Chains A and B, each alone.
Chain A
Amino acid sequence: MSTHDRRTHLKALLALGGTLFLSGCDRLSRSNWFPPILKSADRLNDAVQHALTPRKAMAREYSPEDIAPGFRANGSTNPKTPAYLELVSDNFGSYRLQVGGLVQSPVNLSLADIRALPSRTQITRHDCVEGWSAIGQWKGARLSALLEKVQPLPSARFLVFHCADRWGSAQTPYYESIDMEDAYHEQTLLAYELNNAPLPVANGAPLRLRVERQLGYKMAKYIMAIELVERFDHIGDGNGGFWEDRGYAWYAGI
């Protein structure tokens, strides 16, 4: 065998090896048993991030000149369901946020009620799981203030946000969940203003969640109801959120 032949054979062997390896990775990705092994890294990420950062650590806040000219809207940009379009048509005058589940006093709040709650304004960076970032100024009711109003029961461990947007031909409702630590965090808001204007439909009107230490998909838009629960495995496919049900990490700190 000449050197040339040997080289050609080696190249063919490497190409074959590479193809086999990659199709093997594809097969593992679609198997039932392998992804749970990969996803064990989610728990490690979660544990390490919580171990290395204080519970109340604050996300950086930027100055007004850092605000991006147009805040990118991603995911759903208009739920377009009849019920939602009706809310839009009367400028959310008939909107009511239902807060219930494991609480002592469930409430139904109008947008005016929510605006009357203690608020916070913050200029923060929004990091999308896709990789981009945008800086915007958010004003909203502090979620901790709302929790003080409804008095969570000791068994409540998570807040589930039920949203107006529906996805795909199955019209799957969007939902998200966070734990009490994030819910009581100083920067966690039910935002109703973006860059000094009422929250646009594209960005989640009338209310969207801000959990500044996690990625964008956690920050549910078009919030219609908040349910306090002990566990969330009965909701959706049981992973705590629309994107979590599609393989994304529940704790989206990275």
Chain B
Amino acid sequence: MTGTRSRNERFYRHRLPVRIAHWLNVLCMFIILLSGLQIFNAHPALYWGHDSDFESPWLSIGAYRDSEGKLEGRAYLGDRHIVTTGFLGVSSNADGEQERRAFPSWLTIPSSRWLAMGRNWHFFFAWILVINAAIYLAWSTFSGHLRDLTPTRTEWRGFGRSIVDHLLLRHPVGDAARRYNILQKLAYLLVIFGLGGLIVITGLCMSPRMDTVMDGIMSLLGGRQSARSLHFIAAVGFVLFVCIHLFEVVVTGLWNNLRSMITGQFDYPVEDDSASKKVEKSHEHS
């Protein structure tokens, strides 16, 4: 970049409803995920179909005895397993004692084995999340925010280049830095409507009462145990999204991004020659 110096300009990037919804999402998703792991621990095996074929879960975590008789944690994917002692299957609890449990105490809410309380946290914050999402979607529709998230035809044409830019950690400058880019838009839409929709529907499909009116969609998904598996997979999808999201937050400027999600104000680089162009333009008119 010779000849042009860049400087920062500040603009109001995130409106208040977005910021409130964002931090409520953080709180809710964190609690729902960790209380979800508590619930998973009550029966740490996943199946496809309507019911549980206890002999052959497609995924399971458990405690076994190794050849010397010592406790060994294992995670199974079908018949294949990896030894996960200390993390999955067998881990230390708060008192330092080895315990048989699928996910370790530092990854569950509450930390001890307590299914009833895990369900209490899970359902309460699931409602907060759903209500938050409903308000956010209503606001987004009426305020035009949803349009900010809709990819334009030009952006679709830049899809390939955007992937390359992301992989090379090349970040937009100038006006482009003020908008969501195409991958961002797709990621948010996919998470909100894809993963979000899937996790709510599969959650409802696990309800025997709701199943009286949801049999069609439950069967389409493969049955109640399939719904439970898909609920877990959708949760893994959310975790992957959060990992990528946090990575991008860090590499595109942690404090700047954090500030913009707290006060709304975001600094973005502009090339200095835009100022000189303005001067030239005014000359033309004179």
Most-contacted residue by chain B among A40, A42, A53 (CB, 10 A): A53
> Is B149 engaged at the interface, CB distance under 8 Å to the other chain?
no
How far is A85 from B122 in the complex, measured between Cα atoms in Å? 40
A4 at interface by CB-CB < 8 Å? no
Q: Are A41 and B127 in contact (CB under 8 A)?
A: yes
If the complex has contacts A22-B106, A130-B115, are A37 and B54 also in contact, measured as CB distance less than 8 A? no
Q: Is B135 an interface residue (CB 8 A)?
A: no
Interface centre among B43, B52, B53, B127 (most CB of A within 10 A): B52
Bound together, the chains give a CA A25 to CA B144 distance in angstroms of 37
Contact with A along B102-131 (1 / 0, CB 8 A): 000010011110111101110110110000
Stretch at the interface among B61-69, B81-89, B188-196, B210-218: B210-218
Q: Is B40 an interface residue (CB 8 A)?
A: yes
> Which of A19, A213, A246, A254 has most chain B Cβ within 10 Å?
A254
- The answer on a CB contact under 8 Å between B120 and A214 is no
A131 touches B228 (CB 8 A): yes
Inter-chain contacts of A92 with B (CB < 8 A): none
A-B interface contact total, Cβ < 8 Å: 131
Q: How many residues of B contact A (CB 8 A)?
A: 43
Q: How far is the CA of A71 from the CA of B69 in the complex (A)?
A: 31
If the complex has contacts A26-B111, A125-B224, A254-B210, are A45 and B50 also in contact, measured as CB distance less than 8 A?
Answer: no
Which residues of chain A have C-beta atoms less than 8 A from B126's C-beta? 41
Asked if B208 contacts A215 (CB within 8 A), the reply is yes
B42 in contact with A133 (CB, 8 Å): no
Residue of B nearest to A27 (CB): B110
Contact of A60 among B54, B106, B114, B215 (CB under 8 A): B215
**Which of B109, B115, B123, B207 has most chain A Cβ within 10 Å?**
B207
Q: Would you call A130 and B43 a contact (CB within 8 A)?
A: yes
Given contacts A125-B50, A254-B209, contact A29 B114 (CB under 8 A): yes
Given A53-B209, A53-B210, A213-B209, A133 and B106 touching (CB < 8 A)? no
Residues on B facing A (Cβ under 8 Å): 30-31, 34, 39-40, 42-43, 45, 47, 50-54, 106, 109-112, 114-117, 119-121, 123-124, 126-127, 204, 206-213, 215, 224-225, 228
Closest 7 CB pairs of A and B: A253-B209, A247-B116, A254-B207, A57-B212, A131-B43, A38-B120, A130-B43
